[in-house]
Amino acid sequence: MVSENYIVQAHHEANVPVKMLDEGVPHPVDNWVIKTKQLSSRVMTAWTLINVNQKRFVARVCNYSDEPYELKADYYLARVAPVEYVPVLWDLGKPSKFGPSLPAFARTSLTSPPDRQ
């Protein structure tokens, strides 16, 4: 849910403050992903990784329209799903013997390569 009134300007992307409602159900998962959802004809949420240990949660909202898009506090924004961090072998010169690589959005959004030395 959106935690405060927020306006995403035309032709912009924004990190919109959100809150997760768990209704008191215990869950062992620390990482969640906000799923893509179309909010209007040219406005949508983007895949966004959330760790429950963060102090502040945000959802990425993309506004490709010609008008600002207003989100009201307590608006149901999108569903979340539990995810598990899976380390990726970052040998950029060779294909992995463990199978195909992750899709491009997963490589860039959910993991990052180690620093080169």
pLDDT in tens, 35-75: 899 999 999 999 988 887 888 889 999 999 999 999 999 99
- 3-state secondary structure at position 108: helix
112, part of any domain: no
81, part of any domain: yes
Domain with 32, as residue range(s), is 6-88
pLDDT given at position 82: 83
105, part of any domain: no
Give ∠ CA 36-37-39 in degrees, rounded to 5: 145
Q: Is pLDDT above 60 for 104?
A: no
Give the integer Cα–Cα distance in Å for 87 and 112: 9
101, part of any domain: no
pLDDT given at position 25: 63
Q: Is pTM beyond 0.85 here?
A: no
Domain count, the chain: 1
Neighbouring residues of 77: CB distance < 8 A, sequence distance ≥ 6: 1, 2, 16, 18, 34, 37, 39, 45, 59, 61, 71
What is the rounded average pLDDT of the residues 10-24? Answer: 86
